[in-house]
Amino acid sequence: MTIQEPVTARPAGRPRSEKAEKAIIEATLDLIGEGMGVSELSIEAIASRAGVGKTTIYRRWSNKEDLVVDALSTLKAPLPVLGGVSVRDDLISLLDAMRSEAGQARSRCVMNIAMSEADRYPRLMDRFMKRAVVPRKEAMRAVIERGIGTGELRADLDVDLGMAILSGAMLWHTKWGPAGDLAPDLAERVVDAALAGIAAGTP
């Protein structure tokens, strides 16, 4: 598959504050990754870890929740640009973006911790889902629907079921699969197995 230029999803900061912004995001993720819950997390602690003043944080984020949503969103790989020609290639691109982000140990750990707080911070998690998860689900849905339209996929395919099989296989590898890095060709193998099915063909 082709290496594709990622689409930048983050809002552009003022150049002079970019370095501080990055330090603040990293400090937030570090603290969450070290087990500090969202409730314990404070602007003070983040400022101290990032080596910036609190006002620098407040210039960019009006509250902790906004900052956490932004910080978590940076862990998600940007949506890949899709070729729009072959449904197989586009599915591989989408799954490979999942692979690249899940391959980072810190990303997995922080995301697991944050997700465990979803019940306590429904509004925060809802915003995070809308920002980082929904767009990729919609992108995959669009590709599957296109494939049904072009005849590359079964005409009677349930779109949710297709998404579940494809994304689920990636999710399984990050949750229950062998420890360590995901194989570089995992996305391609998942897509090909899902397309062709695991049953033996008719003899």
Chain residues binding a second copy by CB under 8 A are 35, 109, 112-113, 115-120, 133, 137, 151-155, 157-158, 160-165, 167-173, 175-178, 189-190, 193-201
Q: Which amino acid is at 111?
A: M
Backbone angles phi, psi at 80, to 5 degrees: -70, 155
> Nearer to a second copy by C-beta: 26 or 117?
117
Q: Which is nearer to a second copy, 33 or 52 (CB)?
A: 33
Token digits of residue 164: 């579940």
By C-beta, is 81 or 129 nearer to a second copy?
A: 129
Which of 10-49 are b and which e, b meaning 16 or more Cβ less than 10 Å from the residue's Cβ? eeeeeeeeeebbebbbebbbbbbbeebebeebebeebbeb
In DSSP notation, 9-50 reads -SPPPPGGGHHHHHHHHHHHHHHHHTT--TTT--HHHHHHHH
Instruction: Work out how close the CB of 137 gets to a second copy at its nearest, in angstroms, rounded to a whole number.
Output: 7
Least distance (Å) from a second copy to the CB of residue 61? 25
Q: Determine the Cα–Cα distance for residues 67 and 179; give it in Å rounded to an integer.
A: 31
Q: How far is the CB of 77 from a second copy (least distance, A)?
A: 16
The helix-helix angle for 105-116 and 64-73 (nearest 10°) equals 140
Nearer to a second copy, 47 or 102 (CB): 102
Distance of closest approach, residue 180 Cβ to a second copy, in angstroms? 13
Q: How far is the CB of 177 from a second copy (least distance, A)?
A: 7
How far apart CA 47 and CA 55 sit, in angstroms, is 9
Cβ-based nearer residue to a second copy, 5 or 119: 119
To the nearest whole angstrom, how small is the minimum distance from the Cβ of residue 172 to a second copy? 3
From the list 174, 171, 164, 173, the residue with the least C-alpha distance to 194 is: 164
Closer residue to a second copy, CB minimum distance, 43 or 159? 159
